[in-house]
Amino acid sequence: MPVFPDAIQSLVDELRKLPGIGPKSAQRLAFHLIVAGKPAINKLISSLEEARDRVGYCSVCGNLTESDPCPICQDSKRDRTLICVVGYPKDVLAIERAGGYRGLYHVLHGYIEPLKGVGPEDLRTKELLARLGPGSPVKEVILATNPDVDGETTALYLAKVLKPLEVRVTRLARGLPFGADLDYADEVTLARSLEGRREVT
Amino acid sequence: MSLYQTEGIVLSQTPLGENDKIITLLSPEEGLVRAVVKGARKPKSRLSAVTQPFTRASFQLSRGKSLDRVIQVSLKTSHPGILSDYAKVVCASYVSELVAELSPEKQQNREQFWFFSSVLDHLEQREDPWVVVKWTEVGLLLRAGLLPSFDECALCGGEIVQPAYFSAEAGGAVCGKCGQAKDAADWAGVQAGNLALGEQTVRAIPVSPGTLKTLEILRDSGNQCPNLTAKGQVRQEVNDVLQQCVDHALGKRLKSSLLVGSILVSPHRE
Ligand SMILES: [Zn+2]
Ligand SMILES: [Zn+2]
């Protein structure tokens, strides 16, 4: 029993493939676009095409970019002795938004996930090691992977392979979220915060 | 809303929508339980950290039509000794995937729970995770009734004489006589890793006496992980034999088995 014309159904099917879009949202988006008409749809088509044709990965850091190397890698004012390793391009955005960091990045494009069969060689780990080869200006690698099992596992692996190199390896502090109540914190987070305590100067 | 309380070990987690996740729990009373953790992916979630894989805790859940829901968690241990060691995390992921495959859903299974609970404790405490993983593979297959025989020939029932072979598809260890017989009616011997069984050809690998002995020790050690290690040829053969056994029992290769295989080839070193 076909409810929609085929063209709308296939639009709904395509939209449903997007992350966070369920069947209801896909329908709502499809109807919205149809009602919005030609100019709106053409605008969307051209920005999709532009994104497809102009955006790629930076050959140095792996971030999304329109120029290669990306603006961050090209910026001579950034500190070339620092590399911050993150899982995904969105994490670069998050750290840039926070401000205060002036070093470079390295995007792994994923985490080690044994249960999905994703190992170190499926990530951009070789490219990271290449950036730390002889003559490299890098003095410190900051592991800014997620504070969950996959992120921690990836950080443990990287710490292990970076150990023989003459580079300082640091990890983002883990602990209580700012603005949280101490007695509301869970046991694991609290234990880790204690472990990562710092002297007050 | 019907609430219930159970011990549990988190085997895996997958994201659900924007804010939630689904965890798979192994529990003594309910076997495998799939449950939603609401809001687990929001930064201030109280349930996120205590529902990470390998966590053992007391869970309060509410029963749902298809999925239960985690209401409260009281932590027993997050196994920090596993989480701080790359090789151990990979091993723990593998044994978690294996126990999930070999435990029925929503069915009481106390013995399985306590066995697996001690697997994670051993993994945390032992320096070399190899023996713990091998003991777990053998233990889980044995409990599921899927462990092939190691001490008598799967084909003739006789004693194992060298050169011995192993074939999970043939039912276990194969004696030298059967493995090398060229003109027998039912089989044509092992050639280049293949054992002809009547019409069928199955995979078979040569195994040394040390390998079969090690497998017997692992099988007979029950709830106590033995204190043994292996290197070189025996380690490789035990790995190959148990890989065959697991593949054959499940009818597929586990996703985490490749990564764990690369870690267990050589003795663990810090
Ligand atoms: Zn770049
Ligand atoms: Zn025989």
A104 is a domain residue? yes
Query: Which range marks the domain in which residue A46 is found?
Result: 6-54
A189 is a domain residue? no
* Number of domains chain A is built from: 2
Residue A138 alpha carbon to ligand 1 centre in Å: 15
Q: Tell me, what's the pLDDT at B192?
A: 57
Name every chain A residue with its beta carbon within 8 A of the beta carbon of B18.
20
**Least confident stretch, A4-8, B4-8, B19-23, B200-204:** B200-204
pLDDT band at B183 (very low <50, low <70, confident <90, very high): very low
A114 is a domain residue? yes
A143-179 confidence digits (pLDDT tens): 999 988 999 999 999 999 999 998 999 998 888 877 7
Same domain flag for A73 and A158: yes
Residue A115 alpha carbon to ligand 1 centre in Å: 30
* Region B133-270: CATH code: 1.20.1440
Same domain flag for A79 and A149: yes
B80 phi/psi in degrees, rounded to 5: -60, -30
Alpha helical stretches, state H, chain A: 6-16, 23-36, 38-54, 71-74, 89-98, 125-131, 149-162, 187-195
DSSP A129-174: HHHTSTT----EEEE---SSHHHHHHHHHHHHHHTTSSSEEEE---
Q: What is the mean pLDDT of chain A?
A: 92
B93-127 confidence digits (pLDDT tens): 999 999 999 998 888 999 999 999 999 999 999 99
A29 is a domain residue? yes
ipTM reported for the complex, 2 dp? 0.83
Same domain flag for A68 and A163: yes
CB B71 within 8 A of CB B95: no
A49 is a domain residue? yes
Instruction: Output the pTM of the full model.
Output: 0.88
Question: How far is residue B157's CA from residue B149's CA, in Å, rounded to a whole number?
Answer: 10
Same domain flag for A29 and A101: no
B26-77 confidence digits (pLDDT tens): 999 999 999 999 999 887 788 999 999 999 999 999 999 889 999 999 999 9
How many beta carbons lie within 10 A of that of residue A155, not counting itself? 22
CB B46 within 8 A of CB A184: yes
* Region B3-78: CATH code: 2.40.50.140
Mean pLDDT for the stretch of residues B151-170:
89
Best residue of B89, B260, B262 to probe chain A, by most A CBs closer than 10 Å: B89
Same domain flag for A154 and A76: yes
Of A153, A177, A188, the CB nearest to B86: A153
pLDDT band at B81 (very low <50, low <70, confident <90, very high): very high
CB B238 within 8 A of CB B137: no
Is the omega angle on the peptide bond into residue B80 within 30 degrees of 0, that is, cis? no
Same domain flag for A71 and A167: yes
Inter-chain CB proximity B44 and A149 less than 8 Å:
no
Which amino acid is located at A183 in the chain?
Answer: D
Find the CATH number of the domain harbouring A19: 1.10.8.420
A108 is a domain residue? yes
Burial class (CB in 10 A: 0-12, 13-18, 19+), A29: middle
A87 is a domain residue? yes
Query: What is the bridge-based pairing of β-strands B3-16 and A140-143?
Result: unpaired
**Least confident stretch, A4-13, A82-91, B176-185, B220-229:** B176-185
The segment(s) of chain B belonging to CATH 2.40.50.140 are 3-78
Find the CATH number of the domain harbouring A82: 3.40.1360.10
Alpha helical stretches, state H, chain B: 80-83, 86-101, 110-125, 129-143, 176-180, 209-220, 232-250, 257-264
Q: Tell me, what's the pLDDT at B185?
A: 44
**CB of B129 less than 8 A from some CB of A:** no
Same domain flag for A103 and A84: yes
Best residue of B255, B259, B263, B269 to probe chain A, by most A CBs closer than 10 Å: B259
B200-242 confidence digits (pLDDT tens): 777 888 899 999 999 999 999 988 999 998 888 999 999 999 9
Same domain flag for A132 and A72: yes
Question: How far is residue B8's CA from residue A190's CA, in Å, rounded to a whole number?
Answer: 21
A47 is a domain residue? yes
Same domain flag for A26 and A84: no
The segment(s) of chain B belonging to CATH 1.20.1440 are 133-270
Question: How far is residue A144's CA from residue B222's CA, in Å, rounded to a whole number?
Answer: 42
> Residues with Cβ within 5 Å of ion ligand 1?
A 58, 60-61, 63, 69-70, 73
* pLDDT > 70: percent of chain B: 91
